[in-house]
Every structure is written in C-alpha cells, then in structure tokens.
Amino acid sequence: VTLRSAWRRVESWHDELFVTKWRSALQREAGRQEEAFVAILYLSAFGIDDPSGFATLELTPELVDSFHRWHRQQGLDRFPATGVCC
Amino acid sequence: MPAIVVLVVVLGVFYLGWRYYSLYLAERVYVLDDGRRTPAHALTDGIDYVPTNKHVLFGHHFTSVAGAAPIVGPAIAVFWGWVPALVWVVLGTVFAAGVHDFGSIVVSVRNRAENIGTLTRTIINTRSRTLFLLIIFFLLTLVNAVFAVVIGNLFVANPGAVIPIVLEIPLAIAIGAYIHRTRTSALVPSLVGVAILYALILVGNAYPIELDGMAEAVGVGPRTLWIVLLFAYAFVASRIPVWILLQPRDYINSHQLFIALGVIFLGLLVGFDRIVAPAINTGLPEGTPNFFPFLFVTVACGAISGFHSLVASGTTSKQLDRESDARHVGYLGALGEGSLATGAILATTAGIAAVGMDWRETYPDFATAAGGAVGNFVAGIAGFASHLGVPEDLGRIFAAVVVISFAATTMDTGVRLQRYIIQEIGEMVGARPDGTDRAGAGGTFRRATRNLTAVTAMAVIVPLGLALAPGGGDAGFAFGRLWTLFGTTNQLTAGLALAVIAVYVTRRGRNPIAQLVPLVFLLTMTTWALILNLVDFVQEGDWLLAPLDLIILVLAGWLIVEAALALQRARKETAIEEDVPR
C-alpha cells in the first residue's frame, strides 16, 4: 500500500461519511427546481394560461422526457391530455 | 474515583448491551431478515433511497442525532450526584434508547420507509397523527427557546466565541460553494475549513465581543439582546435554502463532533482526572426538585430521545442496505449518544477540577446548576483540553464554539420544522375536504400559514416569548424549568414512537416487553413531573408556564389512552405476517 493509495482511501472514506449526505440534499434541491421548471413550462398542458408560453414554446420538445418523468413522479403513469407525451 | 475507570465501565456495559441485548432484539423481537428487500433497494432513486454501507450510515445517523441536548441535560443532572445521572444514562441508553432507535428504523423499513408521523396514523390511528403533530409543535417550541437561552448564556460568558461563530457562517457557505463546484475530494477543503475555524478562536480570544454597551443603550440585559438577535438570525437563516448554509454548517459540525469526542476521551486518558463531585448529592438545598421524577426528564437526549425516531424514520430507514444493518446503525447510534452524555457527565464532575473549579461552589443549588450547566461543560472540556497542551482560555472558547455551533444548527432546523408543523396544523384546522378554506378563524389561520413570512414569524415568536419570559433570559431557575418541560415533550415523542413499535411487535405475536417497560416508565415519570411542575407553577402564579405545562399534561394523558387502546386492540388481533412483500 503506497502513501498515495492510503491517502485516496482516507479521502474516499471521509467523503462517503461526511459529504454524500450533503450531496443528496443538493441533488434533491436540484430535482425540486427542475420539477418546478418543467411544471411551469407545461402549464398550458393543464389548461392554465401560460404568460411565458410564447418565449418558452421552443423548449418544450426538448423537455418531453423530463415532463414524462415528472408526471410519473406525481403519480400519473400516463398523462391524460393528448399531444403532450405518452 | 478516576474518571477513566468510570468511562471504561460504561463502555463495557454498552458493549454487553450491544453484544447481547441488541442481538435478542434483532432475533426475537424484530426478527430481522436479510432476504427482505429494504426500501433503499425497492425504491432506489439515487437521492433519498440509496443502499448505504452500514458503517457510513451509522456515521450519518450518529451525526444527525447527536447535538447540544445530550450535553445540557446530563450537565444539569449531575447536581443530584454523578451516580444517579450516570445510571440513568447507561440504563436508559441500553434498555430504552437502543430499543427505541433500533425499533424506529425497523418499523419504518417494513413500511416503505415512512416517517414516524405517518406510521403513527397507519399503525395506531388517525387521531394519533394529530397528537403527534401537537407534541412535535411543543417539542420544537421548547427546543428553540432553550437553545436560544443556552447560546445567549455562552456568548455572555465566552465573548471570545463570538468572532469564530459569526465568521463560521461565511466559512460554511464558502466551503459549501467550493465542494459544490468541484468534484474533487472534500477532505482537504474540510481540514482547511476546520483549521480556519479553530484559528479564528485565537482571533476571538484577542478580540472578545461583548454587547453590554448596546444592551444598556436599548435598556435590556446583554443575554436578552443576544436572544433577540439569535431569533432574528433564525428567522432569516431558516428561509435560506438548506444547501446554502444549514447543510454546510451541519457538515462542519459533524467534524467538530468527532473532534470534541476525541478531546474528551483523550484528555481524560492523559490527565487521569478524578471525579470531584459526590456520588450522590446528600446536601441538596431546600426547594430542589426531587430526582424522582425530575432526573428522568432532565436527561432526555443521552438516555432516550424521541427526536431520534424522526431521524431514524425520516432519512436513515431510506438508506438501509440490509435489515440486519438496523441493529448496527440504530443500536450503536444510541450508544454513541450515550457516550456523548457520559462525556458531559465526566466533564462536569472531573474536567472542571482541572481548571481549578470547586464542584460545590459550581453546583450550589438547582437554579445555578441549570443556568450554568453548559458553562460548566465548557469549563470541563477546557480542563480535558489543557491535558493535551491547549491553554485554558482557548479550550473554553473551543468548547463554546462546539456547543454554540450545534445549538445554532438545531435552532435553524427547529424553526424550519416548526414552519412545516404549523402549516400541517393549518391544513388540519382550516381545510375543507374539497381542499378549500373553511369559514372563520380556521380558514384565516390556514391562509396565514401559506405565507412564508407569516408562518416563519409564528415559528419564531412563540419560543422567543418563552425564552424572554421573566428569568428566562438569565441563568436562573426559569431555564431549569423550561429545560424540564422540553425533556417532557421529548420523552412524550419517544413514548409515542415506543407505542408504535410495541403495537407493531404485538400484532406479529411477539413479546413487546422490551418496548412496554421503557414506555410505561417514561410515561409515568413524564406525567409525574408535569403534575409536580403544574402545582408549583399555579402556586407561584406563573401563568405563562402553567398553561403550557397543562397542555403538555393533557397530551401525555391522551398518549397514555391511545397507547393503551392500541395495544389492547393489537393483542386481540390474530398475529399477522410481515406486511412488505419480498
């Protein structure tokens, strides 16, 4: 065991013990922000007027996968409105 | 008696508890089965549900449950003598906390990692969910009040701690941003961060900050001013996303926890201090609360803490790799907290002698013991640190920084959680079944709880009022009384979790005696303490604490009834097999 590999092991042990919990919080926060963003982009799919729709319309095809994941997380296996996804 | 001998005996008993009692619980009571898929595997999402190595998960669990509370309670309780305090910590840890923490993880894991609040509803009944919310509301109110007083006292007594604590905020944010932006190992930045924090102790020692002048200008005491500033801080900090300040500071605290434990046990070993406190304090002055039942509510965390069930079922159960790991994580986590409480007892009965303090003068009466408990712990740690070559003044600031960091993080978390609880109570009283607001006060309250500023203000104002209650801002009797009330709510939370576990075990046709004995003991001591306190408050005309005590007493009575009914029902039911498919 070289000094370098021992140091790497200590680093890995430290990060697993102290950092992973916190990185999860960051991921959770990022996930929440993405969910909110996706939900806002697809407001019109829910029949709600979307004032930013004109500006964000071109983003929607890029985010169909995210939207699909989002509505499944919300408990809807298939999104009921036609022409959105599924 | 040499403190190291006591420590070795305590650790020996903890080992026996781990080796034999936790094995009995695992095999005969909880019947752990590694063939069963845990939620970490069944619901894995890479964020909350992540199968985690049991040693790492133990570290996460322990750093989440350990804080300032297992320090404060034992540091007060040694007033009755170090033996009663230690016996309760050891027996409570082995036979109550271990059962409670271990069982909370198991029951949650078998129910899709649901939290204890939801489990209360599904395992006992819907009414109990309301009971749970109310107990947690009072628990958080008292937590925020007592920790504000603790920090205020420490800032007044240790003005050298102000600079390190204030600068810990930007330091935590900077470390957080660095680790967030780089994907390299966090070890070196963490070591640098902790080194900077402790280097700031030298700066704080050279430039102590006292608020006497400012306090005099506004016509209040410096402790009162600190408490108001702390709640203003909590109001702002609790509205910032957790990953900006709370998480990075909690991260620094995790390192500090291990450093502090290292200083206690190494200092004890090197210094070979003797315990200078009486084994049983026979010279108690008139008016001292009886140690039966008050010892058992004064030491809540450190012997058994309901807060652990929130962590065990909230995050730990989502990361359990195998069912058998619950024993390692839950039972050992409780023993870790018991070790911290033992460290607090030894610091306040042996460590203080190393800095030349006389125990009898330090603990002359219960009021002084309660108000000065944390200061005595700080002095004791300085005593242990002095054996390791740390000058006493720096050792005191180091210990104050550790305790204040824990307490401030608890306040920040407490205000956040209180916000959610108030919002849930708002939903309960103000929502119609169709989701619209009810007419009248309920609906108005519900609308108010949806406003972030209004709900944060509600979460802050009630504990601020309690902390500033007459005497509450001073290191006086009110703190001891607030602390025992906090202990009662914590024990009630533990009682509720134990009732859930006992019903779960009974329904499976197994003997719930391991849960019932601590449950009955806790409820008896809690109710007894609440009644004695109530009589005192009424006789003294304390119309702030008397109604609070009465409400908590009603909750205790409600809990006793619900637990008894649920257990009776469970006994009559046919034993069922486990409810989570393989």
Instruction: Look over chain B and give the mean of its residue pLDDT values, rounded to a whole number.
Output: 92
How far apart CA B262 and CA B79 sit, in angstroms, is 25
Judging contacts by C-beta atoms under 8 Å, the chain B residues touching residue A24 are 47-48, 50
Asked if ipTM goes beyond 0.85, one says no
How many other C-beta atoms lie within 10 A of the C-beta of residue B206?
Answer: 9
The pLDDT of residue B384: 97
Judging contacts by C-beta atoms under 8 Å, the chain A residues touching residue B52 are 20
Q: For B342-389, how does the pLDDT look when each residue is reduced to its tens digit (9 = 90+)?
A: 999 999 999 999 999 999 999 998 888 888 899 999 999 999 999 999
How far apart CA B271 and CA A66 sit, in angstroms, is 61
Judging contacts by C-beta atoms under 8 Å, the chain A residues touching residue B46 are 27
Do residues B279 and B83 touch, judged by C-beta distance below 8 A?
A: yes
How many other C-beta atoms lie within 10 A of the C-beta of residue B45?
Answer: 14
Interface test with B, best of A24, A28, A69, A70 (most B CBs within 10 A): A24
Shortest distance, CA A22 to any CA of chain B (angstroms): 6
How many other C-beta atoms lie within 10 A of the C-beta of residue B344?
Answer: 32
Judging contacts by C-beta atoms under 8 Å, the chain A residues touching residue B190 are 14, 18
How far apart CA B40 and CA A35 sit, in angstroms, is 22
How far apart CA B396 and CA B402 sit, in angstroms, is 10
- Contact call for B190 and A18, based on CB within 8 A: yes
Q: For B123-151, how does the pLDDT look when each residue is reduced to its tens digit (9 = 90+)?
A: 999 899 899 999 999 999 999 999 999 99
pTM: 0.91
Q: Which two tokens mark B81?
A: 């003598």
Do residues B293 and B525 touch, judged by C-beta distance below 8 A?
A: yes
Give, rounded to a whole angstrom, the gap between the first and last alpha carbons of chain B.
Answer: 53
Any idea what DSSP says for residue B31?
Answer: -
Instruction: Collect all residues from B whose CB is shorter than 8 A from any CB in A.
Output: 46-48, 50, 52-53, 56, 59-60, 63, 176, 179-180, 185-187, 190, 241-243, 247-248, 250-251, 254-255
B414-417 long-range contacts (CB < 8 A, ≥24 apart) are B414/B140, B414/B143, B414/B144, B414/B147, B414/B234, B415/B144, B415/B234, B415/B235, B415/B237, B415/B238, B415/B456, B415/B459, B415/B460, B416/B238, B416/B242, B416/B246, B417/B136, B417/B140
pLDDT class of B477 with cuts at 50, 70, 90: very low
Interface test with B, best of A15, A18, A23 (most B CBs within 10 A): A18
Considering CB atoms only, which of B60, B63, B187 is closest to A14?
B187
The pLDDT of residue B578: 59
- Contact call for A24 and B50, based on CB within 8 A: yes
Amino acid at B306: G
Beta bridge partners of B431: B437
Judging contacts by C-beta atoms under 8 Å, the chain A residues touching residue B247 are 22, 25-26
The pLDDT of residue B278: 96
Amino acid at B469: A
Do residues B85 and B74 touch, judged by C-beta distance below 8 A?
A: yes
Q: Is B440 left (phi over 0), alpha (psi -120 to 50) or beta?
A: left
How many other C-beta atoms lie within 10 A of the C-beta of residue A43?
Answer: 15
Do residues A19 and B179 touch, judged by C-beta distance below 8 A?
A: yes
Considering CB atoms only, which of A10, A15, A18 is closest to B255?
A18
